[in-house]
Amino acid sequence: MVTAEKQISATHQEIIDNYLGLLAEYVKIPSVSAHTEDAYLIEAAEFTARRFREIGGTVEILTDNPRPLVFAEFKAATTVVNPKTILFYNHYDVQAAEPLNLWKHDPFTLVQENDKLIGRGVDDDKGNLIARLTALRLYLSDHGNLPVNIKFLVEGEEEVASEHLESYLAKYADKFANDLVVWESGTKTATGKLELIGGNKGVATFNFTAHSADHDLHSSLAAVVDSATWRLAQAIATLRDADGRVAVAGFYDNIVEPTDRELELVDALDDNTELLRKAYGLELPYLTDLSGRDLNRELLFQPALNIEAFHSGYEGDGVKTILPADAIAKFDVRLVPGMDPHDVVGKIHYHLINHGFGDIAVEFTLGEKGYRSDMSDPMIANIIETAKDVYGNDKLAVAPTSAGTGPMDMFHEHLNAPIVAFGIGYPDTLDHAPNENIRKVDYLQGIDYIYEIISSFR
Amino acid sequence: MVTAEKQISATHQEIIDNYLGLLAEYVKIPSVSAHTEDAYLIEAAEFTARRFREIGGTVEILTDNPRPLVFAEFKAATTVVNPKTILFYNHYDVQAAEPLNLWKHDPFTLVQENDKLIGRGVDDDKGNLIARLTALRLYLSDHGNLPVNIKFLVEGEEEVASEHLESYLAKYADKFANDLVVWESGTKTATGKLELIGGNKGVATFNFTAHSADHDLHSSLAAVVDSATWRLAQAIATLRDADGRVAVAGFYDNIVEPTDRELELVDALDDNTELLRKAYGLELPYLTDLSGRDLNRELLFQPALNIEAFHSGYEGDGVKTILPADAIAKFDVRLVPGMDPHDVVGKIHYHLINHGFGDIAVEFTLGEKGYRSDMSDPMIANIIETAKDVYGNDKLAVAPTSAGTGPMDMFHEHLNAPIVAFGIGYPDTLDHAPNENIRKVDYLQGIDYIYEIISSFR
């Protein structure tokens, strides 16, 4: 291990410190993609490009849109026969820092406090990229050349739903070609295990709107006039059966069932039941009565229909006797592989019509498919084996998918390589929130891990 | 008719003009009971008291609370054997005038424009009280004494839910004793008929709240965690059956069915179906498929369960993938006689528990019972007969109840007399709204009507 305190060389220490300094400079650039100051995004893109160039990478700044995508390539030594290619996916943009008053320090100044590094982007995603660069630099310093092709795809729109990523992936599929995508970030579990995640769920979001009259009516008319609120509540209630299963015809039809290998991996994960109960104060009937393996299987392999919002009628305190003319509900469905966003929302719309709620308008808003890598793929198997060496055999949480959503399917569709996500976070990293931070020990371990992954191709 | 143009005497004209001047002074006092400037309310109360005193009334200002109640009594001539007593219920407080920018004139200046009188309170309720006073003054001018005892109960809290009225009614029941209560206001229908209303519905208001977790969760947990939003929507949906009837056990149990006389009156009312459709842009399935008599019977004799509001989750634009921890819905039930507010809300709460929704909290907020006068009572029959003379036989809309809610039951419980509501409004009177106005013709006809009611006891 290059960074373990006792055996660290002066050369290695200098490189690590140097890159920590670069991380501080990187954090200082407020490259908030939700803001319109594209100058900071371009500054961050150019900073990123310089980091690749200064250690011998071939760099292209792709400017098909105002927030450029930085692509870098480091070739394996010419002596390597049929070298494999790893593509690291990262991003140089960050979430906004607001609310500023909740930060203990200036969010765009990297602060070291005890064993933590604190600042906007220190985990998501500048810290991850700098850790990966540190490992690459260390490896090149030790060996002079690489046993594997390494590519970096660093976008500037990850925090704004990767608006143009798919068009880049489609257009530059040959350039980005690889044998394994390493995802931008990851975390450790509450029990200190490194998560290695091979997929994510998809999502479909949509709105229902009901409109009953030109304006709100006096509620004395309720004896003869139905309201948007009633209609919407009743329509929503038809979407689930008494057991909480989605009652929409065909909803579960095309689901790709988990393989034995996937079930085996998920069944080896920690029991999350108590964690959920305690972290959120959840009780029956709100928390499922499943637990242990069953809960994890449900969480990772089943789709879910969630109501993000339901708003109708009087918003003030006290009583206002109105019969609301309008009601809106917003939904998301977490999709598992096999489910198509438009198909699912279409089935839900058809369900409404079929149940006498054709007056309710359905608007599709966002969608992406779910994806799970083949966790038996040799490239992923190598990643897992290497992690055992670095983190310990019993310190891994390998899952074929997360419960969350991301654009993995988009990568797979265009680049056709397996994907694995891991990174330097821990449960209190606070991505997107004030006081985003990482533990320095995780950062150094992350550098080790990338170093060993590169070494594994020797 | 005292006010009909052709035969009006100079004396009568002077009295009418004089009282119109007093109405202008009355409107000028911004006696908004929702504001805390009690000085204006006291000024309005004293103004009211002076009006009674100057024409020989015995006046008491009851100051059990900061907004006084003005009580006045005019005795029948001593020669009248067993005189009847009419109690006029009015109020000197008004609604706030905001939004001020929507008024064409200063709201607290009485403006005559074409055939209209415009100003805050010109209908609700200062105009009604001044019309009644004008008639009384005209009668006394013509006859010197009265054939009937007349009492006025003028409160200052009608626009803030008559906060202390019940305690006054209970405490001063003997003082307020009467044979007929004439309610503070009323209107004409869209077809120009004077409404004579003998009752109103009651109301019970309550909230449901669901709380699923300590805070909103990431919606990726929806596969294993139920949300407050789902629970509340599903609980609400159980409250009605497929036909829109309230599905709560016992909800309809104690309803007092309409009498033949009540049905006869309601069946003679105008068909409101097209009016509702056009006024509000209502279509099926929002408007009931009932029409004509059936619609009116449903509107006036049936209770209704309305959702005033449903709020849960993300309030912004676009998508936010949260699983809301909290949801609230606010309801009102319009009650018909026989139904008790607490009993009804108790049954609804019991229904929730019985249907597996015991986790949803139920909070009772407001309640009052419904009331319908006996429309065959001789005092009411006399009011109707007199109206036929003044307005015309086919220009009356006599209903045993309105669809709305008011404190009639409170009067009946303490004073045990029938109640009838009528007044000087028309469909575009805009009570509570900017540009509150009455038609001068309705105002003068209203004076006539009170004059003839007094005369009818000769």
In percent, the amount of chain B with pLDDT more than 90 equals: 84
Rounded distance between C-alpha atoms, residue B1 and residue B445, angstroms: 9
pLDDT grade for B99, boundaries at 50, 70 and 90: confident
Question: Is there a contact between A280 and B217 if contact means CB atoms under 8 Å apart?
Answer: yes
Q: Is the pLDDT of residue B4 over 60?
A: no
pLDDT, position B318: 83
Average pLDDT over residues A385-407: 95
pLDDT, position A279: 79
Q: Is the pLDDT of residue B316 over 80?
A: yes
Within this chain, domains A5-200+371-455 and A202-255+303-368 share the same CATH topology: no
pLDDT grade for A319, boundaries at 50, 70 and 90: confident
A333 three-class SS: strand
pLDDT, position A3: 59
Domain residue limits, chain B: 5-200+370-455, 202-255+303-368
List the single residue in A214, A233, A295 with the smallest CB-CB distance to B236: A233
Q: Report ipTM (2 d.p.).
A: 0.87
Q: Is the pLDDT of residue B284 over 80?
A: no
Of A7-16, A283-292, A404-413, the one with minimum mean pLDDT is A283-292
Average pLDDT over residues B200-209: 96
Average pLDDT over residues A148-176: 95
pLDDT, position A66: 86
Question: Is there a contact between A225 and B403 if contact means CB atoms under 8 Å apart?
Answer: no
Contacts of B403 in chain A (CB under 8 A): 220-221, 223
pLDDT, position B381: 97
**What pLDDT digit, counting tens, does each position of B143-190 carry?**
999 999 999 999 999 988 888 999 999 999 999 999 999 999 999 999
Contact between A20 and A119 (Cβ < 8 Å)? no
Nearest residue in A to B403, CA atom: A220
Domain B202-255+303-368 in CATH 3.30.70.360:
yes
| A–B CB contacts, 8 A cutoff, strictly below | 244
In B60-80, which positions are buried (b, 16+ CB within 10 angstroms) versus exposed (e)? Answer: bebeeeebbbbbbbbbbeeeb
Q: Which amino acid is at B331?
A: F
- Architecture per CATH, domain B5-200+370-455, reads as 3-Layer(aba) Sandwich (3.40)
Contact between B175 and B109 (Cβ < 8 Å)? no
Question: Is there a contact between A295 and B320 if contact means CB atoms under 8 Å apart?
Answer: no
Question: Is there a contact between A282 and B231 if contact means CB atoms under 8 Å apart?
Answer: no
**What pLDDT digit, counting tens, does each position of B210-252 carry?**
999 888 888 889 999 999 999 999 999 999 998 889 999 999 9
Question: Which among A344, A380, A394, A391 has a CA at the least distance from the CA of A239?
Answer: A344
Torsion of CA A254, A260, A265, A270, to 10 degrees: 80
- The tokens of B375 are what? 């429309």
Contacts of B322 in chain A (CB under 8 A): 308
B239 CA: distance to closest CA in chain A (Å):
10
Contacts of A366 in chain B (CB under 8 A): 319
Q: Which amino acid is at A420?
A: V
pLDDT, position B3: 59
- The tokens of B89 are what? 């219920």
Domain A5-200+371-455 CATH class label: alpha beta
pLDDT, position B6: 56
Angstrom distances, CA of residue B231 to CA of A100, A233, B178, B346, B361 = 35, 11, 51, 20, 12
**What pLDDT digit, counting tens, does each position of B29-39 carry?**
999 998 866 89
**What pLDDT digit, counting tens, does each position of A202-246 carry?**
999 999 999 998 888 888 899 999 999 999 999 999 999 988 899
pLDDT grade for A1, boundaries at 50, 70 and 90: low
